[in-house]
Amino acid sequence: MEGKMKRLKKYMLVLFCVIFATIGTTTGIKADSGMNSEELRKNSSTTTLENNAKGNILNQGTASISDNENGTVNVYGAVFGSVVCDKMILEITLQRYSNGSWINVKSFSDTAYNTSLLTKSYNVKVAKGYSYRVKAACVAQKNGVSESRVPITDGIWVD
């Protein structure tokens, strides 16, 4: 059990480093007119929401999207628990900006038990010439208590 916890801590540290490196280079894309050339070059966006409640079971939820530049995008979501939770739920929704509003394109739902970390990543084929974003519902449950966060990325342009 101790070896498993050390591996989990090491994995979480590496994951945090990757996320923070991504956040440092991420900027949103405006989905309407007025996008400048610098914004058009951005091909990823990550949003992390922390739970600041005292005694919480949910530490943070993360949503991320990146353009694979081959007609697909990678959608990613993560639920980080402050403790080992009875149940974690992650619902990732890919959305496309069209005619002035965000429309759901595809959704994924995953559940894990007796863990403090749930991460999932999917590659999704998309139509070019639109902005896409990811919304992730991140839920942690322990002893009948449920906490949640819903991070939403900025839009990225897929061309």
**Residues above pLDDT 70, as percent of the chain:** 72
Cβ atoms within 10 Å, residue 113 = 11
Domain count, the chain: 1
CB 58 within 8 A of CB 81: yes
Provide the domain limits for residue 53: 2-158
Structure confidence by residue, pLDDT tens digits, 136-147? 999 999 999 999
Structure confidence by residue, pLDDT tens digits, 82-125? 999 999 999 999 999 999 999 999 999 999 999 999 999 999 99
pLDDT of res. 50: 82
User: Which pTM value belongs to this model?
Assistant: 0.73
Residues 16-53 as b or e (16 or more Cβ within 10 Å = b): eeebeebeeebeebebeeeeeeebeebbbbbbbbebee
CATH number at residue 153: 2.60.40.10
Structure confidence by residue, pLDDT tens digits, 18-73? 333 333 333 333 334 334 344 455 788 898 888 776 558 999 999 999 999 999 99
Q: Is 35 helix (H, G, I), strand (E, B) or coil?
A: coil
